[in-house]
Structure 1
Amino acid sequence: MINNIMSIAGTDPISGAGIQSDIKTFSALKTYGVSVITSIISQNSFEVRKIFPLNPNLVVNQMNAIFDDIYIHAIKIGVLVNDKIIKAISTNLQKKRIKCPIIFDPILFSSNGKCLLKIKYIKSLKENLFPLLTLITPNLFEILFLIKKIKNKILKKEIYLLLREIRDFNIPWVLLKGGHLKGKKCIDFLCNFKKIIKFISKKINNKNIHGTGCTFSSAITALLSKYNNIPISVYLAKKYLNKTLINSNKLNITKKNCIINHFYKFWNNFDLI
């Protein structure tokens, strides 16, 4: 039986990030993806132009249509945009008594720096959504935003202090993505209330970063539905993400930043059959 994974997020018309990227990732990792759209986002590989949030009732209606027909093994949540959507999703997950793992990728800024969630809504995230989560996957800028600290530079020795602060949110697992740290290594920090696990890999130096955060978190979600183990799922998701980046130059789709290659395993040749 195949596992069914739900993505609750915004759209990307070029299919490099957001809902479209999540569905591709779920498929590449041999799970079945379903989607709940929170916002229509006009963007491409180098900028977010406009965000159109959906009515919260429509978001909940999509969720219920899926829950009434399909058993969900894991849920990934991405762009939420505003307080009303945050509360509507959180309330509905509680009402439906959802017990599967819930992973939140707090996409607070686009790659070109556009703010996707105003700081005044952080309180609503903490009060409504955070108690329901299994794992949260912020990058360095997002973790600073969540704890309301403004810094332009982060030293490696400060990472553990940041992890301690975000653990105070009482989310069972936190994955701090370290791709923005300087150096030749990419270090991701996974922690719960007892331990910190470091995932170290060689940094892949290319500009094809559009959708990497979405892909990493959705890969973790899909793999968690199979292995039921957070560290193993993070390890395998990181391996998958690195291979999508290494093989991204085989695609020639956009004018600027290339799309990462979600289907590198299946697109070794382009024969139709």
Structure 2
Amino acid sequence: MTIRNVLSIAGSDPSGGAGIQADLKAFSARGTYGMAALTALTAQNTQGVTAIHALPPEFVRAQIEAIFADIRVDSVKIGMIANAQIARTVAELLETHAMGIPIVLDPVMVAKGGAPLLASDAGQAVIDRLLPLASVITPNLPEAAVLLGENEAKTRAEMASQATGLLQQGPGAVLIKGGHLASDDSPDVLVDVGGVTWFEGPRTTTRNTHGTGCTLSSAIAAELAKGRSMVEAVKLAKAYLAEAINAADTLSVGSGHGPVNHFVELWEDEVTRR
């Protein structure tokens, strides 16, 4: 069996912790070959985002078309979309080229430091055009609330209810991440046609959580590309992310919210020697 190919359609993070850079690291760490089509360039570091430059939709189109014209794509991860025009462009291309391919949509709306990453006119385009194409969407609690026009979930019951509400908007499955929940653990809930599945996880005390959403969704895309079921893909991805967060403090990157350690297994011996 050949190595699976996974395409990320997302924005760039020059600090390497989130966006395309995190996606490519996660794809590699999960044993797949990563590819990238950029939607936007950002100026950011571990302390925040200072500038965003959305790429012209026609250039986004050219990148994606170049990939599908030459390379087998086994799954797609969608991250930062930036604006409504790009959302519609990506949707048109995936409707043409990616039918039957697993698509993981991480509806990136706000950076860790609070900077908006999605134009105000883009939310409805994401809901109308991209959600119905997604095999699974992976919003955190604030993103789920925005997509539904509701208050942010505060309990597990509200998380499950909002996941069910989002499922009615067309995706194949909804994974709501509970990292923002006020609890000692960090539960995620998956809702699909098979029902409700909870994924438990301890909460790690660290400030280095930059790019956790990008990393989780990319790991899920990698596992789906390998033929895993949705439940198994989420389970494996969450376990991988937990290890990456646990080892985040072995890195020394910036003075703000640093990245997780994507290559914890590969670098384990190196860290031990030091």
8 Å contact from structure 1 (residues 76, 103) kept in 2: yes
Local SS of the residue matching 1:198: strand
CA deviation profile, 1:118-166 (whole Å, cap 9, x unmatched): 3432221122112211000000000001012245x62333223212221
Tell me, yes or no, if the aligned pair for 1:106 and 1:137 is still in contact at 8 Å. Answer: yes
C-alpha distance after superposition, 1:66-94 (max 9, x if no partner): 11111000000000011100011111112
Which residue does 1:120 correspond to in 2? 121
Give the equivalent residue in structure 2 for 1:247: 247
The two structures have a TM-score, normalised by structure 2, of 0.94
Displacement after TM superposition at 1:43 (Å): 0.8
Take 1:251 and 1:266, find their aligned partners in 2: how far apart are those partners?
Answer: 14
Which letter maps to 1:161?
Answer: S
Alpha-carbon displacement from aligned partner over 1:220-268 (angstroms, at most 9, x marks no partner)? 0001111331100100001100100111111112223332111111112
**Does the CA-based 8 Å contact 2:47-2:255 persist in structure 1?**
no
Q: Which deviates more from structure 2 when the two are superposed, residues 7-16 or residues 63-72?
A: 63-72
Q: 1:119 touches 1:145 (CA, 8 Å); kept in 2?
A: no
* 2:73 alignment partner in structure 1: 72
- TM-score by length of structure 1 reads 0.95
Moved over 6 A (4+): none
Where structure 2 has 5 or more consecutive residues not aligned to the other structure, the ranges are: none
Q: Distance in 1 between matches of 2:227 and 2:242?
A: 20
Deviation at 1:269? 4.0
Tell me the residue number matched to 1:265. 265
1:178 corresponds in structure 2 to 178
Matched with 1:201 is 201
Question: What per-residue deviation string (whole Å, max 9, x for no partner) do you get for residues 18-52 of structure 1?
Answer: 00110011111110000000000111112111110
Deviation at 1:203, TM superposition (A): 1.0
Percent of aligned pairs with the same amino acid: 35
Q: Which residue of 2 aligns with 1:25?
A: 26
What is the alpha-carbon distance in structure 1 between the residues aligned to residue 98 and residue 137 of structure 2?
20
Verify the 8 A CA contact 2:224 2:233 in the aligned structure 1. Answer: yes
User: Which position in structure 2 is the counterpart of 1:99?
Assistant: 100
1:145 aligns with 2:146: yes
Per-residue deviation, 1:62: 0.4
